[in-house]
Amino acid sequence: MSIKVGYIDIHLPDEAIPIDSFLKSMNFENSYDPYNISNNKFISSIYKIDSNMEEHIFEQLVKKYLLYKRLDGSEIDYLIYTQSDSNENKLSVAYSIQYKLNLSNAQVFSINQGCSGTLIAMKVASALINNRAARRVLILTSCFTQKDSERFIGSTILSDGIGLMEVTGSDGVFQMLDFMGKTNGGINEDNFHLNGNPARIVNIGAKLIKAILKKNSMTLDNIACIVPLNTSKEAWSLYCDALKCTLDKVFLDNIIDGGHMGAVDTIRNLKSIIDKNNLKEGEYIILFGMGFGTSWDVMLLQSV
Amino acid sequence: MSIKVGYIDIHLPDEAIPIDSFLKSMNFENSYDPYNISNNKFISSIYKIDSNMEEHIFEQLVKKYLLYKRLDGSEIDYLIYTQSDSNENKLSVAYSIQYKLNLSNAQVFSINQGCSGTLIAMKVASALINNRAARRVLILTSCFTQKDSERFIGSTILSDGIGLMEVTGSDGVFQMLDFMGKTNGGINEDNFHLNGNPARIVNIGAKLIKAILKKNSMTLDNIACIVPLNTSKEAWSLYCDALKCTLDKVFLDNIIDGGHMGAVDTIRNLKSIIDKNNLKEGEYIILFGMGFGTSWDVMLLQSV
């Protein structure tokens, strides 16, 4: 069966916070060079959302989706909630949306895999649809950081974000052709900066991209672009070295405005690609995600 | 493809805590009758596990499983971690096990649906296997309660527990024949005792059991037993009224020793049924789970 990404939407606040005012508000000590952070990372602004608004924002996104698709909600068979922060379990947010919007046939559960959560949720959704256990699956992905000091992770800065994606057996914007994933539980937040692990992370990710291409008898020449998480241009320079391609092969447009929003990046970037009309019908892209722990996921999509 | 429960194991501490000493340790106020709690619920003991031991215990369970099945670990394609408590995200426990035991091909993610988490993880595992995305999936389910005062939920008492289940396309002990689920986000912990919701909870659950029987052209006469969560005999009296059957149709053996261990109950009860040799080859059972929010899940299994 042909499984598609049927609909994508994203919520960001109207006003971004300029990186300079954000960094000033942090009152860094002298030993820390805040401007180097922003210069190195090419992030000019970040987004903050009041986490108490999460349920309300998802409700508005789902309402808009139902209206656009002319659905009454009973057509949704699963609602998968994907938290990419590591805060307390907030599954009740998804339950509440199911009830308020009367998604009468939607079974609710959550899937987490850190910042690659949307990708693994897409894989699970496609398996459920392929298995005829579902016709439409909604993925609700959010990313919140409670303390500003925790927004600095590894090589990037975290914004808050909220996104929605429909995976369906019927009409859509991207056909999901193949998926591959890899987990290495030995690489995590605690040892990211030790032992040359950033290089290993890039190496494993690049291998996975090569593997999905080989499995589908393709090369990077067949791919219009790689759609990454919005972590940093620096990291993608390393990936491009490993893949023997140039940076313009990678969709990096969203890093400057917002940086990394966990697993919401996947949804945000696909939405931007559609909005910017970047792809012709039939063109292929590779969706790439990485969640600390660490898991890497790649999906081969075709624009339809 | 025929999908099976391939292996089941459970960890409980060697010593249970008698319910009387547990209740005494709680220092209830006079307005509260602790003995009525234990009498009504037929729970004579509970189990507590130091949550810092979780990773070590899972490691031992997985090692024992690999040895029993003569696997080197590379045969596991997914490791699904199912937390049935609502504490902080502990996905790192599963990542660590993947790394320590060199489950080199296992992709790790977590699935949560409260106390019905094992059932939804079984459904997802079967979809992945049916989809040829996996051959073997390990489900690691745990349930911990941090404060003793939080062990009293609704009509039951919570113990800690840890369980492991293999879902596989090859040999197993139960064949997974069908699954149905229902979510009603309007029934949750906050309003469980209001508006007659316990009756609605039983009503929805009983309807789902009837629905899966009807879908498979069966009646309860075709079912050797219903395997519930170990919440309370009282609740199952109500279910039996709704289903027009007697309590002996329900596997309630484990309530007395430990009560409810969240989504671990599903694994514990299947293990007890195997250990007690309760089923003949070819006999059918219905696995029932309910996770606050609320989700109800039923699965039709056949002993093989």
CATH assignment at residue A260: 3.40.47.10
Same domain, A182 and A238: yes
Task: Quote the tokens at residue A292.
Answer: 């600390």
B295 touches A105 (CB < 8 A): no
Reduce the DSSP state of residue B118 to 3 states and report it.
helix
Same domain, A18 and A133: yes
d(CA A81, CA B110): 11
d(CA A39, CA A34): 9
Residue B178 is predicted with a pLDDT of: 98
B122 touches A109 (CB < 8 A): no
Residue B156 is predicted with a pLDDT of: 85
Cβ contact A117–B109 (<8 Å):
yes
Q: Which of A151, A168, A185 is the last residue of a domain?
A: A168
Same domain, A231 and A272: yes
Question: Which of chain A's residues have a Cβ under 8 Å away from the Cβ of B76?
Answer: none
Mean pLDDT on B29-58: 77
Nearest to B133 among A106, A109, A127 (CB): A127
Query: Each residue of B131-181: pLDDT tens digit?
Result: 999 999 999 999 999 899 889 887 788 999 999 999 999 999 999 999 999
Query: Each residue of A292-302: pLDDT tens digit?
Result: 899 999 999 99
Residue B258 is predicted with a pLDDT of: 94
Same domain, A204 and A138: no
Residue A41 is predicted with a pLDDT of: 57
Nearest to A92 among B107, B126, B188 (CB): B188
Task: Quote the tokens at residue A53.
Answer: 């608004």
- Give chain A's residues under pLDDT 70: 29-41, 192-196
Mind telling me how many Å the CA of B133 is from chain A's nearest CA?
8
Cβ contact B88–A91 (<8 Å):
no
Residue A34 is predicted with a pLDDT of: 55
pLDDT at B294 over 80: yes
Local confidence band at B27 (pLDDT 50, 70, 90 cut-offs): confident
Cβ contact B185–A133 (<8 Å):
no
Q: Which class for B35: exposed (0-12), middle (13-18), buried (19 or more C-beta within 10 A)?
A: exposed
Can you give A39-82 as a three-state secondary structure string? Answer: HHHCCCEECCCCHHHHHHHHHHHHHHHHHHHCCCCCCCCEEEEE
The phi, psi pair for B74, rounded to 5°, reads -70, -10
Nearest to A183 among B88, B107, B127 (CB): B107
d(CA B83, CA B113): 8
Q: Which of B138, B168, B198 is the last residue of a domain?
A: B168
Task: Quote the tokens at residue B107.
Answer: 């992709």
Residue A37 is predicted with a pLDDT of: 60
Cβ contact B293–A95 (<8 Å):
yes
Same domain, B99 and B240: no
Strand partners, A237: none
Reduce the DSSP state of residue B198 to 3 states and report it.
helix
Task: Quote the tokens at residue A276.
Answer: 């910017």
Same domain, B144 and B125: yes
B26 touches B34 (CB < 8 A): yes
Task: Quote the tokens at residue A48.
Answer: 């903050």
Same domain, B266 and B180: yes
d(CA B288, CA A182): 33
- This complex has an ipTM of 0.95
CA distances from B81 to B90, B91, B137 (A): 9, 7, 11
- Half-sphere exposure of B62 toward its Cβ, with a 13 Å CA cutoff? 30
How many structural domains comprise chain B?
Answer: 2
Same domain, B183 and B120: no
Same domain, A55 and A164: yes
Query: Each residue of B227-271: pLDDT tens digit?
Result: 999 998 888 999 999 999 999 999 999 999 999 999 999 999 999
Q: CA of A89: which chain B residue's CA is closest?
A: B86
Domain range for residue B59?
4-168
Query: Each residue of B88-112: pLDDT tens digit?
Result: 789 999 999 999 999 999 999 999 9
Same domain, A21 and A160: yes
Cβ contact A108–B295 (<8 Å):
yes
Same domain, B23 and B163: yes
Nearest to B108 among A83, A128, A295 (CB): A295
Local confidence band at B292 (pLDDT 50, 70, 90 cut-offs): confident
Higher pLDDT, B200 or B167: B167
Same domain, B259 and B161: no
Residue A40 is predicted with a pLDDT of: 56
A108 touches B293 (CB < 8 A): yes
Q: Which of B168, B184, B199 is the last residue of a domain?
A: B168
